[in-house]
Amino acid sequence: MTAIRIEGLRKTYGDVPALDGLDLTVETGKVFGFLGPNGAGKSTTIRILTGLAQAGAGRAWVADLEVTGPRHASAGPLARRFGYLPEEPAFYGWMTPREFLDHVGRLFGLPAAERRARTAELLSLVGLADVAKRRIAGFSRGMRQRLGLAQALVNQPPVLFLDEPASALDPAGRKEVLDLIEHLRGKCTVFMSTHILADVERVCDSVGIIARGKLITQGPRDELLARYAIPAFELEADAGGEGALAGWVEAQRRQPWVTAVRISGRTARLTVSDVAAAKQALLPAALAAGLVLTRYEMLQPSLEDIFLRLVGEAGGS
């Protein structure tokens, strides 16, 4: 089933195109990573999907409700079908977390008993139960992000939008937020806009990459890694082996299946066109050359490699 569907979405700010015919689908229950460089159109997409901006053209649906129709027709029902955590959430600093979540519950029309139960459940989920009576003004950035995630879940939405949820956090705060996102897998559809590739590689099931307002590629994370993989091998020689390593590298350049070579200190990386031939030849050749290796591995592609390659090809960097 599809939780989010976008067809030909366009948006301009003056003469500057933010979205240029964007097409995208997100399956129900997935944690979806929406990747792109700054200015690619990520935040604009979320603003349109959450009803905070209007598209110039195209159509989009969230949880089977069209969000690109007249605002008065979809605003009320739409607000009940999604949760939203902006990049910089705002709070009433004089409130406590308990008071704030109760206030959000009132906005959704939840009865008193349900508000109390939901508030307690969410404070426990985001690890703020022990500070439920403290003023929000004294919270760290990580605590505020976790409270923002709690408020986005008050109405138990089928779709959750997160705009750069961990970009300004320290490593501890980022881990806390990513752990919470992982916990939501299968409980709702998570649409996470970010430029932090390591976060996407850790928590997302599927990925879409956008540049200059257009979708470059989309698919399951592991499928993308396999599709755009560039076979490469990396060797690291023991201390003092730089000279022997350089000689060995020069010999490997002449192999017809070696397409690129990079050497840095005691480490050499070889990109190949024939993995089978490389597996048979590289290690025996290194040993025959007298190299004492501290590391030898076939590299797995990273999402960062794919992102930089595709965005560069699209002219988005």
146 and 284 together in one domain: no
H or E element at residue 25: strand 16-27
Structure tokens at 313: 């090809």
One-letter amino acid of 200: V
Residue 72 has pLDDT above 50, yes or no: no
Instruction: Establish if 306 belongs to a structural domain.
Output: no
State whether 107 and 173 are in the same domain.
yes
* Same domain? 41 vs 108: yes
Residue 269 lies in a domain: yes
What's the rounded Cα separation, in Å, for the pair 63 and 59? 14
Q: Quick one: tokens of 174?
A: 């980022």
240 pLDDT tier (thresholds 50, 70, 90): low
pLDDT in tens, 102-154: 999 999 999 999 999 999 999 999 999 999 999 999 999 889 999 999 999 99
Mean pLDDT to the nearest integer, 78-89: 86
Same domain assignment for residues 35 and 144: yes
Can you give the CATH number for the domain in which 187 is found? Answer: 3.40.50.300
* Length, in residues, of the chain: 317
Structural domain harbouring 254: 232-299
**Contact call for residues 234 and 267 (beta carbons, < 8 A):** yes
* Per-residue CA distances from 307 to 21, 191, 193, 207, 221 (Å): 20, 18, 14, 10, 12
**In terms of domains, do 193 and 248 share one?**
no
Q: Strands 31-35 and 189-194: what pairing?
A: parallel
Give the residue from 194, 218, 242 where a domain finishes.
218
190 Cβ neighbours under 8 A, 6+ residues apart = 30, 31, 32, 160, 162, 181, 184
